[in-house]
Amino acid sequence: MSISNNKLIKLSSPWYGQEEKDAVARVLDSQVTCMGIETKLFEEELKKFLGREDTNIICVNSCTAALQLSLQSIGIKPGDEVLVPTLTFISTFQAITANGAIPIPCDVNRNTGFIDINDLTNRITNKTKCILPVLYAGIDNNINEIYEIANDNNIKVIEDAAHSFGNKSIIKRSGILCFSFDPIKNLSCGDGGMIVCSNNNIAERLKDIRLLGVIGDTNNRYNNSRSWDFNVKEQGWRYHMNNICAAIGRAQLSKFNKIKALRCKYADLYLEELRNIDELQLLPIDTINGVPHIFPIIVKSQTVDNLKNFLLHNNIGCGTQYKPNHLLTYFNRGYHLPNAEWLYKHMLSIPLHPMLTEDDVYYVISKIKDFFKK
Ligand SMILES: Cc1ncc(COP(=O)(O)O)c(C=O)c1O
């Protein structure tokens, strides 16, 4: 184990190598960099890899786009209310307002970061049209209750699964799930996103509105072509995934089992080594079905400021995931959400990505232990 460390251990990082460089070069050599054959092959390979050849996979240029399009595809309209946990990246909220709808921030469970069922139930009104649960750190506790509540109240559900690529149980669900392939996610396309959608009619609409609303152009694009005589029936967006990003994604998919093994190994080390520190609480990160994307730790006894400064001083990157959205001016609705506000002060993410070495992880663990010994 390295005792001193002069390099910064990054909080997060993609893991690009020769495979990705070759993939980008292949697309550049083809002179076709827009959406095309690579996008098609990536979508097919994803279905196969995920064991979901029975469903629709629609690749777009980010998870933010995936969420925005998904909300539009189920008919979310200006003025509709969407229940969403406040503890999420701003994308989840912006995707709602991009549709003219109103994000209603809900509190989260203090032990899991997952949307709090009681708080959510209390915020249902006759304007509530959708629940947008976030699978924070890949955790999906209580998801069945969300679907039951939604069913009872005639409300739709879209899952923000940005953190959850590679999770074996989440991917089995029907409905609409949105994943992120941005640079630091489990699988990275440079930038990208994926919608998994079991309803064929909604999937067709999604395919059109990712291509500026041009009806039925996806198959032409897959053949590196496009239609010149077409119709448009609704607002669409330029949100498709291009060949360059898809080719990077294909390269990442071919080594995903290695990415998964490293992420799970490092998360298991943290879970094993940090669980006996009394001042800490760990989230129920799943390394059996899941592929951990982030590793937030909860400091029960004090706010995280001192630990954060100590880790940064020791060249260990760390961060807050996330500042609750109801504390941001644009999304503030004038009420407190105590659990999320408490977690904001007490939760800190520590490095987790495939570019780490085992020594790096032991170094992080040793510094956290040092801090609590003081
Ligand atoms: C929970 C959550 N939702 C949505 C997003 C947006 O993903 P993207 O960067 O692909 O738009 C992120 C990205 O960090 C995220 O963490």
CATH class of 18-254: alpha beta
- Kindly state the tokens that stand for 337: 């959400």
Q: Report how far residue 3's alpha carbon sits from residue 360's, in angstroms, rounded to the nearest whole number.
A: 10
Pick from 13, 91, 210, 294 the residue to mutate for probing ligand 1's pocket: most ligand atoms within 8 Å of its CB: 91
- Vertex 38: Cα angle to 37 and 43 (nearest 5): 100
CB-defined site of ligand 1, < 6 Å: 62-64, 88-89, 91-92, 134, 160, 162-163, 180, 182, 193
- Contact between 177 and 196 (Cβ < 8 Å): yes
pTM of this prediction exceeds 0.75: yes
Same topology, domains 18-254 and 256-373? Answer is no
Q: Report how far residue 109's alpha carbon sits from residue 214's, in angstroms, rounded to the nearest whole number.
A: 42
- The alpha carbon dihedral of 146, 151, 155, 160 has a sign of positive
**Which residues, 6+ apart, have CB-to-CB distance to 21 below 8 Å?**
none
**Which residues, 6+ apart, have CB-to-CB distance to 232 below 8 Å?**
212, 213, 214, 215
**Which residues, 6+ apart, have CB-to-CB distance to 358 below 8 Å?**
265, 266, 269
Superfamily of domain 256-373: Aspartate Aminotransferase, domain 1 (3.90.1150.10)
Task: Give, for all 374 residues of the chain, the pLDDT tens digit.
Answer: 444 457 899 999 999 999 999 999 999 999 999 999 999 999 999 999 999 999 999 999 999 999 999 999 999 999 999 999 999 999 999 999 999 999 999 999 999 999 999 999 999 999 999 999 999 999 999 999 999 999 999 999 999 999 999 999 999 999 999 999 999 999 999 999 999 999 999 999 999 999 999 999 999 999 988 889 999 999 999 999 999 999 999 999 999 999 999 999 999 999 999 999 999 999 999 999 999 999 999 999 999 999 999 999 999 999 999 999 999 999 999 999 999 999 999 999 999 999 999 999 999 999 999 999 97
User: What kind and span of H or E run contains 280?
Assistant: strand 280-282
Pick from 86, 158, 182, 237 the residue to mutate for probing ligand 1's pocket: most ligand atoms within 8 Å of its CB: 182
- Contact between 130 and 175 (Cβ < 8 Å): no
Q: Crossing angle for the helix pair 243-254 and 256-274, nearest 10 degrees?
A: 60
- The alpha carbon dihedral of 165, 366, 13, 136 has a sign of positive
H-helix segments, 34-173: 37-50, 63-73, 90-97, 117-122, 143-152
* Per-domain residue ranges of the chain: 18-254, 256-373
Ligand 1, residue 181: give the atom nearest the CA: 10
100, β-bridge pairs: none
Buried b (16+ CB within 10 A) or exposed e, 230-245: eeeeeebbebbbbbbb
103, β-bridge pairs: 82
